[in-house]
Structure 1
């Protein structure tokens, strides 16, 4: 498969998940990074879940993905942020 091919057909619904240490503003950090590249996020499109011990939080944001380049930019923005430990 070449770089221009993709298993996804755009536009499509796509879940972006980021994990990091639990803090009061971790959800907002993730949403702000995603919003830079995806625009407005619909109400109910953001869910968060703490780890069993509460040390870590995962935040999932559903977006309308428009291209592979957009997804790459979102993941790059998330992984570049020091509060984000992992992005899926």
Structure 2
């Protein structure tokens, strides 16, 4: 069975969550990588929260998504990064 994506109207506010090891620069790493696709992303659009045990860091990134293709490119790019464990 083929997965059907929900319909989205663009531009839209999109919230992405990126999870990786809780290292000092993980939030900065995520911001730099997402900026490759969202050049106007600011630090105000980034929120980081460690897991209960402190081993992982969840970075929430909020931005205006311009198209489905842009979102697909962001997901593909981040998925290819060794530091990224999970994307939501």
TM-score, reference length from structure 2? 0.89
3-state SS, counterpart of residue 7 of structure 2: coil
3-state SS, counterpart of residue 44 of structure 1: helix
Residue 23 of structure 1 and its aligned partner are, at CA, apart by 0.3
Residue 42 of structure 1 and its aligned partner are, at CA, apart by 3.2
Give the number of aligned pairs. 84
Gaps of 5+ in 1: none
Gaps of 5+ in 2: none
**Correspondence 1:30 to 2:30:** yes
**Correspondence 1:10 to 2:40:** no
RMSD between aligned residues: 1.3
3-state SS, counterpart of residue 23 of structure 1: coil
Residues of 2 paired with 1:12 and 1:60: CA distance? 16
Moved over 2 A (4+): none
Deviations 1:12-53 (A, max 9, x none): 000011000100110011111110001111342100000000
User: What is the aligned partner in structure 1 of residue 56 from structure 2?
Assistant: 56
Residue 58 of structure 1 and its aligned partner are, at CA, apart by 0.3
Q: Mapping of 1:59-78 within 5 angstroms? A: 59-78=59-78
